[in-house]
Structure 1
Amino acid sequence: MDYAAALLAQTRAFGELFRVGDPELAIPTCPEWNLNQLFRHFGRGNRWSAQIVADQMDGPLDPREVAGGKPPAETTAAIDWLNDGAQVVLDAVAKTGPDTPVWTFLGPRPASWWVRRRLHEATVHRADAALALGGEFTLALELAADGIGELLDLLPAVVARNADALPLADGQSVHLHATDDGLGSAGEWTIGRPTGTDTVRWAHEHGKATVALRGCARDLFLVATRRVPVADTDITVFGDAAVWQKWVEHTAF
């Protein structure tokens, strides 16, 4: 997948939602935020990550220290600022070197790690805006599937943040199965907590689980990222639905 091109495209699509929306519109999936705050958060986040890459930082950056982190007041200029910020990420990675290690939520990773991370920050926040505006949220099959995998790749950081309330009990597991044609094994995710451990692991594989969700990749992406409840989708749940509910409640990132 061309993560760079997808980041630019998803950022542009998010900007167009901002163009037609009321800046004061409440964002139900991001409580206490309005559309303007969501826009600023995402746009500043691109420049924040770009600065981490450009400076080859070994720790997080204070958001207040992000260069150019405040958008212009005028809408078109603000959207230009948003789109430019996505390109700033790509330019920083290219200049630093995609394989150069920099700080991430998971410890040192190649600078190119941030391109995929910012891409799926874009897909999730575009969903936030689209749902708040009452419009249809569509997402290419490959992007939806990759977004689920990227979220699961963040599990070590999620588990560390929720160390006192792990998302799965000892020996429990979750299986997600995308029903779309063409994904093959890339459309199945099995997540489990091996018996006697405090770790959560995942793999692209089919198998029985404590709870299983079966539906299209787009719907699975939205429920996995906590954007919509299962009840608002066509997903079918098999097994212990309470395990899924606990998973959702303890995997905020």
Structure 2
Amino acid sequence: MTRLSHERYCAEIVTQTESLVARIAGADLTTTVPSCPEWNVGQLLRHLGGVQRWAETIVRTRATEPVPEGGRELDDYTEEDPAVVGPWLAESAERLAETLRAAGPGTPVWTPVPGYGTTEFFVRRFTHEAAIHRADAFLALGVDYELDREVAIDGIDEWLELGSLPLHFDVHPWMRELLGPGRTLHFHATDTPPESNAEWVVDLTGEVITWRRAHEKAAVAVRGPVTGLLLAIYKRRPITEGGFEVFGDTELLDFWLDRVDFG
């Protein structure tokens, strides 16, 4: 299992953001975002740029303790102009990528998730932050969404890694209800080459949630395009709308999707 390179992540932060900016010209940014219903598209853009600037500050200053997070107070951004917010968002991504390049991989910084503590957390997390929020905006605006397969595969890896952390049981105690005998899920990407090994097993049979890349029988199996799998796991698009094949215990799949809570 191979992650993307530091430089590739830096490039993707810009690529994903620029792709989003390119599609908002002339768009109605007051359109509600179904996957983030508390925001409209303009607020979503301000959120993405705000958290990018927050991460840039952490990396640039080599922060060793929490920094107040930007991009959350969005009441003042209900009537955004694409000509204003677009360049601002593009600059946010460029600044973050440049700062991450200058810092390089493995540089110690504070991270919001215990146990990480280097720039590798931010460069990967903000690649997928941009990719998923681009999907949010495109789905809201009725724009077709595509994502490079390598980025989508890594996005599923990262989601399963962070979403399986035991700390979630403290923050979201209802996730403990997922655990039980015989509870396994298998996700299989059908549009990737064999060498990608784009298959995942989520194992709920122990005392914690675990996952692995593997081709194994499971209580429920889902087969479909890798980008569709990513969006379904992130709860951006229902399984019923992704052209998937589902075999086995569909109630377990629905229960897992209901209880998982990351991103």
1:165 aligns with 2:175: yes
Shift of 1:162: 1.6
Shift of 1:134: 1.2
Counterparts in 2 of 1:60 and 1:217: CA distance versus 1, 3 Å:
same
C-alpha separation in 2, matches of 1:89 and 1:186: 31
Counterparts in 2 of 1:183 and 1:117: CA distance versus 1, 3 Å:
farther
| Letter matched to residue 179 of structure 1 | T
Shift of 1:90: 2.2
Counterparts in 2 of 1:179 and 1:57: CA distance versus 1, 3 Å:
same
Mapping 1:1-253, distance limit 5 Å: 1=4, 2-63=8-69, 75-107=82-114, 108-155=116-163, 156=165, 158-166=168-176, 168-171=178-181, 172-184=183-195, 186-195=197-206, 197=207, 199-253=208-262
Contact preservation (8 Å) 2:29, 2:81: no
C-alpha separation in 2, matches of 1:230 and 1:206: 20
C-alpha separation in 2, matches of 1:32 and 1:233: 24
Shift of 1:160: 4.2
C-alpha separation in 2, matches of 1:222 and 1:228: 6
C-alpha separation in 1, matches of 2:10 and 2:102: 14
Contact preservation (8 Å) 2:203, 2:209: yes
Q: Percent identity?
A: 33
C-alpha separation in 2, matches of 1:126 and 1:132: 10
| Letter matched to residue 153 of structure 1 | E
> What 5-or-longer segments of structure 1 have no aligned partner?
none
Contact preservation (8 Å) 2:45, 2:85: no
| Letter matched to residue 169 of structure 1 | L
Contact preservation (8 Å) 1:18, 1:35: no
Counterparts in 2 of 1:227 and 1:64: CA distance versus 1, 3 Å:
closer
What TM-score do the two structures reach when normalised by structure 1? Answer: 0.89
* SS in structure 1 of the partner of residue 261 of structure 2: coil
Contact preservation (8 Å) 1:174, 1:210: yes
> What 5-or-longer segments of structure 2 have no aligned partner?
none
* Matched positions, count: 248
Shift of 1:173: 1.5
What TM-score do the two structures reach when normalised by structure 2? Answer: 0.86
* SS in structure 1 of the partner of residue 176 of structure 2: coil
Contact preservation (8 Å) 2:168, 2:175: no
What is the alpha-carbon root mean square deviation over aligned residues? 2.4
